[in-house]
Structure formats: C-alpha cells, structure tokens
Structure 1
Amino acid sequence: MHEFAYEELEEATQNFSATHLIGKGSHGSVYKGVLRDGRIVAIKTQSLGLQKLQDNSKLDNEVRILSSLPKASKCLINIIGISHDSFSNKVLVMEYLPNGTLHDFLHLSPTPPAWPKRIEIAVQIARAVQVLHERKPSVIHRDIKASNILFDEIWDAKLADFGLATEMASDSSSQRGDSTCRPAGTIGYLDPCYTSPHKLSVKNDVFSFGVVLLEIISCSKAIDVNRVPATIVHWAMLLIDENRILDLCDKRLAPARHMEPMILHVVNIALRCVSPKPYNRPTISEIVTDLQICLVEPTRFPIWMTSFFRGIIFLQKKRRKIGTKRYKTTTTIVCAAHEASKQVDISSKKLLLREILADATLR
C-alpha cells in the first residue's frame, strides 16, 4: 500500500478547502484532489469527532477489506494509498469517480435514465455484491444504498464506502456472525431481520440491494416522509396488493408495451430480495443470472410474458396472505446459452428460455 506524504494531500486539496469537498457523511468527508503527478484522486478523511478520538477503525477496516478483494474487479472502488496527519489520523486516497452517485442520478438529474441503462446499473451493482459474497470468507457490505454507488467517467457503476463492511465468521451460508459486530446500516435500506450480531448474513445485503432495485425502478427514495407508507418497501407492497404493479415505475419515463415484461421481471426480483423471511431471498449469484436476462433486447421477452410475471407476483402476494402451510407456489426460470449448458452467454446474446414453470398446488 503506497504511503503518501500528508503535505502532498494538503497541497492537492488546497489544505482540504471546502471548494474541493465532494461528499460528506457521518463518518467523514471526501475531497477531490490533484496529486503532484497530475492524477485526480478522491481523498477521504475522518469526521472531526473520530479525529478527536483518534479512532481509525472505520478507515482501517476499509483498507483491510478493499486490500483483500480482487484487484481486477471493475465494479468496486479502488484504493490507491494511505496517509496520516500529524495526529496519526488515517487518510485514504481513492480513485476519483467523476459522475456522482446513483442517488443524484435518480433524484437530482433533470433527465431520467432510460430503462436499459437502469437495468445495466442494477447488473453492475449485483456483480459488485457478488464479488464480496463469493470471497472466502464472504464479505458483507452492510451499507448498500444509492449514495454509496458511484459512476466512473463512462457511467459504469461502482460500489463504494466499505467502512461498515465485515467478514462472515464461517462460510457464506452461515447465519452466525462476529459477536462483536453490532448491527449497522442506513435506515430504509437496513434489513429489519438484522437485529443482533448473530443475525449477520449475506441475505442482509440482498435485502438492501432489493431496496436499491426498487429505487432504480421507481425513482422514489428509500425513505420519503411525504409518502404513505414512508418506506419504499411498504409502499411497493401496498401497490402490489392493489394490483398496481406498473405504478411502481418512474412516472417520468412511461414504459413501452414491449418493455413491460422486462420491468415486471425486475420487480419480481426486487420483491424476492426484500422478502421478510431471509431464507426466501435469492442468493446474489441467482440475482445476477436473473438480471442478465434483461440485458438482451426487450424483444426477447414476448408480450405474453407480461401476464406470466404478473401471475408470479400475484401468487407471491397470495402466499403472504394465506400462509405457506396451506398454499405453496413454485416458480422456476432457467436460462441457458444452449441445451447442453446452464451458463448465460450475454456477449453473444444467445439466451434460450429453457424452462418456464409456474405451479400452484393446494395442500
């Protein structure tokens, strides 16, 4: 890990001037800086409170986690180096991502992102989480939210801010987390099942990703006090209970008829992610596979599939109402590049809808 002279970082940011400030949170601030070699970087400092306590734990954790992840990953923010001020407070030097956050793109941009771009963003975020969850032991980000997803110069999404990230105590399927790891996250994105350290699971991240997915679809904030209900998950469930599924879509960008099956497919993925029962939530690998279907031209989704996906959501809603003891719904969607393989070949766009089965059986 490269160690920068603190004086160079002061020079790069004009002594951490407010004119260089590009982001601020409860744990610290991020400044845009230009190094002596001409590189533009993001420089992350701790909050004044943490500096007074000389508490480097958040930034130490971020360095440790990011350093342990694959260097070639294009969907995670890269750390370039570190530094320390005269009081031994740590400072991080990160890659600079010039196009802001997903939160700003969705809620502040005058031009709403097109549906294909939204799906592309969703896939990129899912792949970032997949990198974390497939590491041994699995890494749980614990703070997946729209403001922690940044865009590079070509508008590819990258997951950032690993200050709350932690490792599973054992394999990725374990529900047992570090006993010293208290539940943490952002209200609105935080899994309501994550109430104690032993409830730490990769499914916590899956819930947060589902909230982000609903946000991408609707351009509605995760928490909005002017909306009833205020949380996006309860608001989405209410619309579905009223059979107003497409009302979840961003009103500024009405979906074309041929896009409806794709959007309903994504809504179905989001609903599975935010299931109140963690064991009903898909793995991130399943989510990536399901979302990649949507990267193919919308024409690959026949119009009749609108009714199919509406049916899936309807059956899920019915299951919630009458309970799983009397009513069981099984839905299987398997995609393969060809009959002999279950791999999805997106580059050649050779997707075969191998099996579509929706069974509802009363017990």
Structure 2
Amino acid sequence: MGSCLSSRVDSDTQLHAGASSRYVGSDGRVLSSRRLLPASSVPLTPRGENEILDSATLNSFAFNDLRIATRNFRPDSVLGEGGFGCVFKGWIDEHSFKAAKPGTGIVIAVKRLNQDGSQGHKEWLAEINYLGQLYHPNLVKLVGYCLEDEHRLLVYEFMPRGSLENHLFRRSSHFQPLSWTIRMKVALGAAKGLAYLHSPEAKVIYRDFKASNILLDSSYNAKLSDFGLAKDGPMDGQSHVSTRIMGTYGYAAPEYMATGHLTAKSDVYSFGVVLLEMITGRRVMDKNRPQGEHNLIEWARPYLANIKRRVIQIMDPRIEGQYTMLAALRATSLAVKCLTVEPRNRPSMTDVVKALEQLQDSREPGSVKAEAVQKKQRKFGNNEATKRRAGSYPRQSTTPVNT
C-alpha cells in the first residue's frame, strides 16, 4: 500500500493526548492543531448491512471489484489521504458497475477505511446514511459502498479538480492560484450546500466545514464531502445538540469548543474561516509563518476592525487587480459577520447565500487597478476622451480573468 496507509500524521489525523503538536487556548485548554477526535476510536468489528439505511440510489460493491477498479489500490492511484484512510482513483462500467479498464467507463473515487484509523466504523456508517439520503448539486454524490469481512469502503463520484485546499495552499505547477471570480463562485456553491443541510428538509449540522472538504468539479462547482462527523440538528424545540468536541482546530466555533453545544451557527463560523482563507490566501493555522501570524483570525483581527481603510492589506497578493474595492469590502464584511463571537449575531447560511449572490450579480467591470487608471484618465478632460474614441483599436477588457 506504500506510505498511504502508514502512520504519518496529516491534516486530518487524530492527535491523542500528549501529542507534540498542540496549541493552548486563551482559557488554558490544550487543543490539537489537527482534527479533534476522541482518543478511543470505535473498534473495527464486523457489523451487518442492517445498520445502513435503505437507499435506492446506493450500490453495494464487492471488494474484489473495487480492488481491480483501483488497480489493486496502487500508490500511484492515490487521490488523497485523511484520518479515515486513503482515497483512490478507479474505473467502473457505467452499466454493470463492475471494474473497468483504466480510462474506460466511469471514473470514481474509492475511500478505503484504514483499519488502524481513528474514525472507524461509526464515521464510515455516518457517511453512508447521510449521503445516501441527501441530494443536492453542492454535495458530493455517493455512488455506493463495500462492507465485506473487515473491508469498509465508500465509492464517490470523481471530482477532477480536487480540493479547494490544494488550489489555495499548494505551491506547484498543478495548482495555479484561483482567480477572484472562481473563489467567489466556490464560496457561493459551498454556501448553498451548507444552506441545504441546515434547511427544514435536511436539518443536518455538517461540523467539519474546511477547505479540504470542499471538492471541485471540472467547472469549479463546489461540493461538500466527508460527512463522517455530521450530526442531526436540534429536535423537539431544543436549541442545540450536545456532543463531544470533534472537528478541526481553527475552523471550529469558539462556543462549541468551550461547551460542546453544537448548532447550525457553528457551521456558519466555519464558513467564515474558509471565506477568510479564500480572501487572504492564508491557512487558518500556519506555523511556517512569522511569529504573530500563525493564527489567521488573530492576525487579521486588527485589519478587520477597520475594513474600509485596511481591506487591501489582507487581500491575497496573487490576485491583486482582479476585484473591485466594493467586492473586496462586501466579501470581507460577510466573513466578519460569520466570525462574530456571539452565535445569534451570525447570519444564517440562507442569508450568506443571498449576500454572495448579490456580490456576483453586482459585479462591475474593472478592478482596483482599473479604477485608479480610470480616475487618472478622467483628469484629461473631454478633449482627450474624444481622441480616444476616434481611435480604431478595441478597448482592453477589464473583466477579471478566470483561471
């Protein structure tokens, strides 16, 4: 299996008590810098398919078919890795759903539970029971599962552009910086996915919203993935759900970290973190940055307190000139509202969707640079404007270029 199923620690791997990579909160609590999961995982014992909710759309795969489809889970088929295990690229026949030759049939992503993993059967089952019942354009599609002896696998639609995290933070020729236009498109799609989960139709709290869980299709449409930590929302008039603290450090809402009380507004806070990551191009936690800049929220706080004057200072320099000042202010102001400490003062995800739709609908031609040029040009007066109109060359487009 190569290094994929080794014990290396990554951004989604549990750190047990006493692990070396830790942060200390303002209240003195020791918090993991990674995914916050209970030290004891659910034991991987054989369970029957009677635990899986009925779903007419899910296929039950044989382990051997998935083994062949992924070329025996070869290391060069690995798409990603998390606390659950590795995700492999594979191919199946579009009619029989049996293994197909590479490059033929339907491309799939196969997530294989690491038998030594920290999440275990409970989270594997949660993925099936949520994604087997929930349907929305901004949720990744679960094609089926495999439950055979000790093997537990999930089969998803393949998302060719990978995760938002890779596009924002990986420095390689494969991941060019996303344009401002694409970032706002991704933000809107992800917001629509969360709004659906919070709707009366679904009533689900996602609980692990972060850049690595937002996957992109070939047209940069965003889809939420990884529902292992999702929870049913409050029922019977309750205001919150009480749970063990689980999620990823930096993205989890402060009131949830302090009390274990989970609400839909906890997801709204996490959305605000990711939106700020998209605006700044910075990870929420990055120990490779200079002292005082490790925590994105703390670093940005002085700038966010005076957005109108200082918004340019937090914008990702890689997309300089691709946005209007108005767009930058609106997007950053929305992030600030989502990050409000008091949960009841945060907007609902429905309101967030409306704000992002208005941001896209009101896009004006031109960028920060273009606006400065236009102001300078107006000083030349009508005479110079007449000369420009007399020229036969087409005007250069100032519409932001998509990547």
- Normalised-by-shorter TM-score class: 0.7 to 0.9
Tell me if structure 1 keeps the 8 A contact 2:61–2:145: yes
- Output the CA distance in 2 between the equivalents of 1:99 and 1:143: 20
User: What is the correspondence of 1:218-257 to structure 2 with a 5 Å cutoff?
Assistant: 218-225=280-287, 226-227=289-290, 228-241=292-305, 243-255=309-321
Structure 2 equivalent of residue 77 of structure 1? 140
Indicate yes or no: 2:88 matched with 1:15: no
Structure 2 equivalent of residue 56 of structure 1? 121
Question: Which structure 2 residue ranges, 5 or more long, are not aligned?
Answer: 1-57, 93-98, 372-403
TM-score, reference length from structure 1: 0.76
- Output the CA distance in 1 between the equivalents of 2:321 and 2:337: 22
Indicate yes or no: 2:168 matched with 1:97: no
Structure 1 equivalent of residue 267 of structure 2? 205
Q: 1:214 aligns with which of 276, 286, 299?
A: 276
Aligned alpha-carbon RMSD (Å): 2.5
TM-score, reference length from structure 2: 0.68
Evaluate the alpha carbon distance shift between residue 20 and residue 113 of structure 1 in structure 2; reply closer, same or farther with a 3 A threshold. same
Structure 1 equivalent of residue 113 of structure 2? 46
Once the two structures are TM-superposed, the CA of residue 188 in structure 1 deviates from its matched residue by 1.3
Post-superposition CA distance 1:133-170 (Å, at most 9, x none): 00445111111111111111222111111111111131
User: What is the correspondence of 1:112-127 to structure 2 with a 5 Å cutoff?
Assistant: 112-127=177-192
Structure 1 equivalent of residue 60 of structure 2? 3
Partner SS for 1:206: helix
Structure 2 equivalent of residue 145 of structure 1? 210
Indicate yes or no: 2:252 matched with 1:186: no
Tell me if structure 1 keeps the 8 A contact 2:245–2:260: no
- Output the CA distance in 2 between the equivalents of 1:174 and 1:300: 47
Structure 2 equivalent of residue 355 of structure 1? none
Tell me if structure 1 keeps the 8 A contact 2:269–2:338: yes
Indicate yes or no: 2:95 matched with 1:30: no
Percent identity over the alignment is 31
Determine which structure has more spread, i.e. the larger CA radius of gyration. Answer: 2
Tell me if structure 2 keeps the 8 A contact 1:102–1:147: yes
Tell me if structure 2 keeps the 8 A contact 1:139–1:166: yes
Q: 1:274 aligns with which of 339, 342, 351?
A: 339
- Output the CA distance in 2 between the equivalents of 1:44 and 1:193: 32
Post-superposition CA distance 1:247-292 (Å, at most 9, x none): 1111122136x71101100100000101111111100000000111
Amino acid at match of 1:276: V
Q: 2:229 aligns with which of 142, 156, 164?
A: 164
Once the two structures are TM-superposed, the CA of residue 29 in structure 1 deviates from its matched residue by 1.4
Amino acid at match of 1:98: P
Once the two structures are TM-superposed, the CA of residue 298 in structure 1 deviates from its matched residue by 2.4
Tell me if structure 1 keeps the 8 A contact 2:244–2:260: no
Partner SS for 1:84: strand
Structure 2 equivalent of residue 342 of structure 1? none
> After TM superposition, where is structure 1 displaced by more than 4 Å over at least 4 residues in a row?
300-303
- Output the CA distance in 1 between the equivalents of 2:344 and 2:293: 25
Amino acid at match of 1:46: L
Evaluate the alpha carbon distance shift between residue 81 and residue 29 of structure 1 in structure 2; reply closer, same or farther with a 3 A threshold. same
- Output the CA distance in 2 between the equivalents of 1:28 and 1:302: 43
- Output the CA distance in 2 between the equivalents of 1:100 and 1:207: 24
- Output the CA distance in 1 between the equivalents of 2:143 and 2:202: 24
Tell me if structure 1 keeps the 8 A contact 2:304–2:336: no
Once the two structures are TM-superposed, the CA of residue 297 in structure 1 deviates from its matched residue by 4.8
Post-superposition CA distance 1:91-135 (Å, at most 9, x none): 111111111110111122653222121111110110010110004
- Output the CA distance in 2 between the equivalents of 1:175 and 1:230: 34
Indicate yes or no: 2:193 matched with 1:128: yes
Structure 2 equivalent of residue 310 of structure 1? none
Q: How many residues of Structure 1 are paired with residues of Structure 2 in the alignment?
A: 295
- Output the CA distance in 1 between the equivalents of 2:324 and 2:191: 21
User: What is the correspondence of 1:319-334 to structure 2 with a 5 Å cutoff?
Assistant: none
Amino acid at match of 2:209: I
Tell me if structure 2 keeps the 8 A contact 1:175–1:198: no
